[in-house]
């Protein structure tokens, strides 16, 4: 029988592979590898869908995250893509913001780029622990709001938040600089020993600060006469 | 002219390449030398000045073919229809919050999609065309993007960071376009702002070389359908309202009015009204017919212009010049004959709607009461029946709208959409006098039943024989009281609406046991 659509066969069609196809394919592959690493972290650290934020759990989770991304080649855009995948994708069974933040921090700390900008304005969840242990040679800029424990244990890097943060921002930071354009929550700078924390908006409450400098709307509020360093 | 000759020569081949789109033969216009293409109501027009300027660097046939490929792909692939165009504009607007910049972002995005589709799927000279086009501002970035994603040397380069981000967008994945345009707009946002600021200073706008995409591209039918789909797709009224308000001028200029199409200017567009109108068109409420005494068959009586939504079956082909175009096509208006007998028909309907403080303000959020009432009104008007409206809050203090039985859709919609936001009391005298003006009309009442004089209303409904469709929003003690009060009445049917998905479940004029014994309850 004659194909009635034969006249359309190969008409004008070229269907060639263009570099865009390769870019998208490699993007998908990288994302899938990043997701695998994250799932491994969850399997190890949040078996019962519960993750307790403790000093030891954070350290352990970070070392698992580092192992998970070992040998992975990715860019800042891949990290951003992963953040949105966490938020929307059905590829991930669940999102636990603690381990997710540690995993993203590990990705940022080991990225090839020195400057990373994450556009997270459209994220519906606020990720905790972003900027954990950010090292000296790194600058991380986040567009959008972030969750609790942002920039904890900052290790010399520069963290800029173009939005607001929640509680315990800069807790335990040793050196480096955190700039938050808008507001911060309670226990800001809790246990920080060095570095600078600059807040463009308002701070709900300070933690027990040991060292470093803290500015609220360009005013140095720590150390000053009213707030003395807390010594353990 | 040389270019006309080329178009005539190439057109059959280009049409075949794009699987024979239903487009007229492109024409040549004087135009400017900076803009290649203009699309108005499916008519592609190529600028001769642009052609003459570019001919120095590129073969004439290649120029025309590339421009045609671009124009046809807009029609065949992206945006494809007005709904897609609106959706893309709406998503871009969420990022830039400025009408003009959102328009541009949507235009650039559609161009990238279109051209990338052509380069991948068709045999085209678009890449050569871009190589020879001037590269400034956003076009410099886009040409650099094309270089990267098409793998062609277009003499651009640079903007590595921007291009890296842009090249990760899946332009050819239609399902992701909503997400993609947001990302696209975010990346080029600062260039759009710069471009806009420069133009504000110089008061001169540099046109897009591949043409602008405005409402000019669409016919009134396409706009009507696009708005209907858009009303159903957007999450809330405010989103719809914002987009329609942005396009209000252009829509009115095109002659698009809320009351239907082809009404011309001077009929200001009310975005709220339009939202309910378009959303209601997606729902069809069935009406049970009623045996009406002395109603004979319908016979063609007079002509009137056809509008979208009117039945095709009534079109008079002999006076419509063989065209289906609102305003030109003629439709038969039918009138009842005088033959007596027991024929089934649709009576008129009195719509009673509660707009007290406990109800949602239809101009702020999607009001299920208004949507339900508009759907009911549509159902009756479609059958050539009339509708009256009694919109009440504290009616005894004058917070009410009383609209007599009428066929005027827009007037009825306006009466339904009126919001008072006060107390809730009915003036039953008003309802009695409205009912007296029609022959045993149906009653459609939609309320949350938190009415001060509910007992009087129950008593009133106990006394009348009209078919009543009572819709209550949510459950409370008052709805239970109403339900109990009406339990024995066979001419009253009750429906509960919790969300808009419940609206199609309403059956207007549904009467218990009506089908078994029509005379029993009368």
Give me the interface pTM, i.e. the ipTM.
0.81
pLDDT tier for residue B267 given thresholds of 50, 70 and 90: low
Q: What's the structural domain count of chain B?
A: 4
The residue among A150, A131, A143, A142 whose CA lies nearest residue A190 is A150
Minimum-distance CB partner of B149 among A13, A19, A77:
A19
Read off the pLDDT band of A229 (50, 70, 90). confident
Alpha carbons B66 and B123: distance in angstroms, whole number: 10
Across the interface, which of B121, B123, B150 has its CB nearest the CB of A19?
Answer: B150
Nearest CA distance, B99 vs chain A (angstrom): 20
Q: Is the pLDDT of residue B177 over 90?
A: yes
Residues B207, B230, single domain; the answer is no
- CB contacts of B184 in chain A (<8 Å) are none
B240 falls within a domain: yes
Q: Which residues have CB under 8 Å from B406's CB, separation 6+? A: B386, B387, B388, B412
In a domain, A231, yes or no: no
Residue B417 lies in a domain: yes
Please check whether residue B291 lies inside any domain of the structure.
Answer: no
Q: How far is CA B409 from the centre of its chain?
A: 16
Same domain assignment for residues B325 and B249: no
pLDDT band at B79 (very low <50, low <70, confident <90, very high): very high
pLDDT at A143: 93
Counting one residue from chain A and one from chain B, the pairs whose CB atoms sit within 8 A come to 51
Count the alpha carbons within 13 Å of B235 in the hemisphere toward its beta carbon. Answer: 3
pLDDT, mean of residues B410-420: 90
Nearest-Cα distance to chain B for A76, in Å, is 10
Residue to mutate among A12, A81, A113, with most B CBs inside 10 A, is A12
B288 in any annotated domain:
no
Nearest residue in B to A119, CA atom:
B186
Residue A12 to residue B120, Cβ atoms within 8 A:
no
Phi/psi at B176 (nearest 5 deg)? -95, 5
Q: Using CB atoms, pick whichever of B16, B182, B186 lies closest to residue A12.
A: B16
pLDDT of B105 reads 95
Query: Helix B60-76 crosses helix B99-121 at what angle (to 10 degrees)?
Result: 110
B26 in the same domain as B104: yes
* Minimal Cβ distance to A8: which of B19, B123, B168: B19
Closest residue in B to A20 (Cα–Cα): B149
Alpha carbon of A19: minimum distance to chain B alpha carbons (Å): 5
For residue B446, tell me if it sits in a domain. yes
Determine the Cα–Cα distance for residues B52 and B335; give it in Å rounded to an integer.
61
- Between CA B8 and CA B67 the distance in angstroms is 14
Using the Cβ of B16 and the Cβ atoms of chain A, whether some distance falls under 8 Å is answered with yes
* Spatial contact of B195 and B138, defined as CB atoms under 8 Å apart: yes
pLDDT of B440 over the 90 cut: no
Residue B515 above 50 pLDDT?
no
Domain that holds residue B234: 225-280
| Segment 331-360 of chain B within 8 Å of chain A by CB | none
pLDDT tens by residue, A133-167: 999 989 999 999 999 999 999 999 999 999 999 99
Task: Please tell me which of the candidates B16, B17, B149 has its beta carbon nearest to residue A18.
Answer: B149
Do the chains contact at A19 and B172, CB–CB below 8 Å?
Answer: no
d(CA B267, CA B475): 40
Which residues lie closer than 8 Å to B260 by C-beta, 6 or more apart? B307, B308, B309, B326, B409
Number of structural domains chain A divides into: 1
Phi and psi (nearest 5°) for A221? Answer: -105, -15
Answer whether A8 sits within 8 Å of B148, measured CB to CB. Answer: no
In this structure, the answer to whether residues B205 and B233 fall within a common structural domain is no
b/e B492-502 (16+ beta carbons within 10 angstroms → b): bbebebeebee
Q: Which of B17, B121, B164 sits opposite A15 (nearest CB)?
A: B121
> Is A171 inside any structural domain?
yes
Q: What is the mean pLDDT of residues B150-162?
A: 88
Compare B81 and A12 and report the one with higher pLDDT.
B81
Select the highest-mean-pLDDT range: B318-327, B393-402, B497-506: B393-402
Give me the helices (H) in B441-486, please.
454-463, 477-486
Question: Which residues of chain B make contact with A122, given a CB cutoff of 8 A?
Answer: 182
**Tokens standing for B151?**
């793998």
Residues B349 and B433 in one domain: yes
Residue A189: per-residue pLDDT: 94
A232 in a domain, yes or no? no
Q: What is the pLDDT of residue A202?
A: 95
| B290 found inside a domain | no
Question: In whole numbers, what is the pLDDT of chain A averaged over residues?
Answer: 88
- Answer whether B182 sits within 8 Å of A16, measured CB to CB: no
Residues B514-522: what's their mean pLDDT? Answer: 41
Do the Cβ atoms of B469 and B497 come closer than 8 Å? no
pLDDT at residue B7 in the model: 94
B12 close contact with A: CB closer than 8 A: no
Locate the chain B residue with the closest alpha carbon to A8.
B19
Q: Residue A218 is part of which domain span?
A: 19-222
For residue range A40-94, list pLDDT tens digits in order.
888 887 665 566 677 778 888 999 999 999 999 999 999 999 998 888 766 666 6
Whole-angstrom distance, CA of residue B249 vs CA of residue A20: 38
Task: Report CB contact under 8 Å: B170, A14.
Answer: no
**Assigned domain for A204 exists:** yes
The alpha carbon of residue B391 is apart from the nearest alpha carbon of chain A, in Å, by 40
Residue B300: is its pLDDT beyond 80?
no
Find all residues with CB under 8 Å of B222, minimum gap 6, and list them. B81, B82
Say whether pLDDT at A221 is over 80: yes
Task: Please provide the DSSP assignment of A199-211 as one string.
Answer: ESS-BS-B----S
Write the residue in B16, B18, B151 that is nearest to A18 by C-beta.
Answer: B151
Q: How confident is the model at residue B279 (pLDDT cuts 50, 70, 90)?
A: confident
Residue in B148, B150, B168 closest to A77 by CB: B168
Determine contact: A124 vs chain B, CB below 8 A.
no
User: In chain B, which residues have their Cβ closer than 8 Å to the Cβ of A77?
Assistant: 164-165, 168
> Which of B392, B378, B413, B366 is closest to B508 using CA atoms?
B378
pLDDT for the residue numbered A16: 83
Q: What is the pLDDT of residues B110-149, one digit of tens each?
A: 999 999 999 999 999 999 999 999 888 899 999 999 999 9
Subunit contact A24:B168, Cβ cutoff 8 A: yes
The average pLDDT across B515-519 equals: 42
Q: Is 90 exceeded by the pLDDT of residue B522?
A: no
pLDDT tens for residues B13-27? Answer: 999 999 889 899 999
Helix (H, G, I), strand (E, B) or coil at A176: strand
Is B150 within 8 Å of chain A by CB? yes
Write out chain A residues lying below 8 Å of B162, CB-based.
Answer: none
Q: Does A15 touch chain B (CB under 8 A)?
A: yes
B21/B161 same-domain check: yes
Decide if B167 and A20 are in contact by the 8 Å CB cutoff: yes
User: Reduced to 3 states, what is the DSSP secondary structure of residue B511?
Assistant: coil
CA atoms within 13 A on the CB side of B29: 15
B17 to chain A: which residues are within 8 Å by CB?
11-12
State which residue of chain A sits closest to B162, comparing Cα positions: A77
Which tokens in the block code for residue A158?
């520069």
Q: How confident is the model at residue B422 (pLDDT cuts 50, 70, 90)?
A: confident
CA distance B357 to chain A (A): 32
| Domain presence at residue A216 | yes
Q: Look up the pTM and report it.
A: 0.80
pLDDT at residue B339 above 60?
A: no
Q: Do B229 and B212 fall within a single domain?
A: no
B157 in the same domain as B44: yes
In a domain, B271, yes or no: yes
Render pLDDT for B376-414 as a digit per residue (tens, 0 to 9): 888 888 888 899 999 999 888 888 999 999 998 888 998
Within this chain, do residues B306 and B331 fall inside the same structural domain, yes or no?
Answer: yes
What is the mean pLDDT of the segment spanning A178-184? 96
Polymer length of chain B: 522
Number of alpha carbons in the 13 Å side-chain half-sphere of residue B505: 12
Residue among A12, A20, A122 whose CB faces B116 most closely: A20
pLDDT for res B336 = 60
CB contact under 8 A, B150 and A18: yes
Q: Do A18 and B16 touch (CB under 8 A)?
A: no
Domain identity same for B230 and B163: no
C-alpha span between B250 and B270 (Å, rounded)? 14
Q: Please tell me whether residues B168 and B54 are part of one structural domain.
A: yes
Q: Which two tokens stand for residue B349?
A: 């309907």
Inter-chain CB proximity A15 and B120 less than 8 Å: yes
B328: pLDDT strictly greater than 80:
no
Q: Looking at CA atoms only, how far is residue B521 from chain A in angstroms?
A: 55
Q: Does B15 touch chain A (CB under 8 A)?
A: no
With respect to residue A13, please indicate whether it lies within any of the assigned structural domains. no
Q: State residue B491's pLDDT score.
A: 84
Residues B319 and B358 in one domain: no
Would residue B519 count as lying in a domain? no
């Amino acid at each position: 029988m004659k194909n009635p659509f034969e006249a359309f066969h190969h008409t004008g069609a070229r269907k060639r592979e263009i570099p865009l196809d390769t870019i998208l394919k490699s993007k998908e592959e990288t994302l899938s590898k990043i997701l695998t690493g994250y799932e491994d972290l969850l399997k190890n650290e949040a078996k019962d869908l519960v993750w307790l934020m403790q000093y030891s759990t954070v350290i352990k989770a970070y070392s698992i995250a580092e192992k998970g991304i070992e040998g992975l080649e990715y860019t800042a855009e891949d990290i951003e893509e992963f953040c949105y995948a966490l938020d929307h994708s059905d590829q991930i069974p669940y999102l636990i913001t603690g381990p997710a933040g540690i995993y993203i921090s590990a990705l940022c700390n080991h990225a090839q780029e020195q400057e990373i900008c994450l556009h997270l304005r459209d994220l519906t969840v606020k990720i905790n622990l972003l900027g954990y242990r950010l090292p000296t040679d790194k600058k991380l800029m986040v567009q959008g709001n972030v969750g609790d424990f942002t920039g904890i244990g900052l290790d010399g890097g520069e963290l800029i938040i173009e939005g607001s943060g929640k509680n315990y921002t800069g807790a335990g930071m040793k050196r480096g600089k955190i700039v938050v354009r808008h507001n911060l929550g309670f226990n800001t700078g809790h246990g920080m020993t060095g570095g600078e924390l600059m807040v463009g908006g308002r701070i709900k409450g300070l933690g027990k600060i040991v060292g470093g400098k803290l500015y609220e709307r360009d005013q140095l509020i720590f150390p000053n006469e009213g707030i003395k360093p807390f010594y353990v | 002219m040389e270019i006309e000759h080329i178009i005539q020569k190439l057109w059959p081949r280009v049409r075949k390449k794009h699987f024979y789109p239903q487009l007229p033969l492109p024409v040549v216009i004087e135009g400017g030398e900076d803009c290649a293409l203009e699309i108005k109501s499916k008519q592609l027009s190529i600028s001769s000045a642009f052609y003459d300027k570019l001919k120095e660097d590129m073969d004439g046939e290649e120029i025309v073919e590339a421009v045609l490929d671009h124009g046809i792909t807009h029609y065949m692939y992206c945006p494809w229809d007005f709904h897609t165009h609106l959706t893309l504009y709406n998503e871009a607007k969420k990022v830039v919050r400025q009408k003009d910049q959102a328009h541009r972002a949507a235009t650039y995005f559609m161009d990238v999609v279109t051209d990338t589709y052509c380069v991948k799927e068709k045999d085209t000279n678009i890449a050569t065309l871009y190589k020879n086009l001037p590269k400034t501002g956003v076009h410099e970035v886009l040409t650099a993007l094309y270089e990267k994603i098409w793998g062609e040397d277009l003499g651009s380069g640079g903007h590595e960071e921007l291009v890296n981000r842009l090249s990760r967008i899946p332009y050819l994945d239609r399902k992701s376009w909503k997400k993609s345009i947001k990302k696209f707009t975010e990346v080029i946002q600062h260039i759009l702002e710069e471009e806009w600021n420069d133009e504000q200073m110089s008061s001169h706008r540099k046109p897009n070389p591949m043409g602008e995409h405005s409402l000019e591209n669409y016919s009134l039918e396409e706009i009507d359908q696009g708005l209907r789909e858009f009303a159903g797709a957007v999450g809330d009224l405010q989103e719809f309202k914002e987009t329609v308000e942005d396009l209000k001028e252009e829509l009115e200029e095109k002659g698009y009015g809320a009351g239907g199409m082809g009404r011309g200017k001077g009929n200001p567009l009310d975005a709220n009204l339009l939202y309910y109108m378009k959303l209601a068109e997606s729902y069809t409420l069935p009406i049970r017919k009623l045996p009406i005494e002395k109603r004979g068959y319908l016979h063609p009586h007079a002509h009137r212009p056809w509008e979208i939504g009117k039945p095709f079956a009534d079109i008079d082909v002999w006076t419509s010049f063989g065209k289906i175009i609102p305003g030109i096509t003629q439709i038969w208006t039918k009138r009842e004959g005088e033959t007596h007998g027991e024929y089934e028909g649709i009576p008129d309907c009195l719509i009673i709607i509660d707009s007290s403080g406990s109800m949602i303000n239809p101009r702020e959020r999607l009001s299920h009461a208004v949507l339900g009432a508009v759907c009911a009104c549509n159902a009756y008007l479609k059958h050539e029946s009339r509708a009256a409206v009694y919109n009440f809050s504290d009616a005894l203090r004058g917070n009410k709208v009383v609209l007599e039985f009428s066929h005027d859709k827009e007037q009825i919609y306006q009466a339904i959409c009126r919001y008072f936001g006060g107390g809730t009391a009915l003036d039953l005298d008003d309802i009695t006098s409205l009912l007296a003006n029609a022959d045993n009309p149906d009653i459609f009442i939609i309320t949350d039943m938190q009415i001060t004089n509910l007992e009087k209303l129950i008593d009133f409904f106990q006394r009348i024989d009209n078919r009543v469709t009572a819709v209550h929003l949510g459950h409370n003690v008052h709805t239970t009281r109403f339900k109990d009060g009406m339990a024995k009445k066979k001419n009253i049917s009750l429906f509960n609406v919790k969300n808009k998905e419940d609206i199609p479940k309403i059956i207007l004029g549904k009467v218990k046991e009506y089908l078994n014994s029509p005379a029993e309850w009368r």
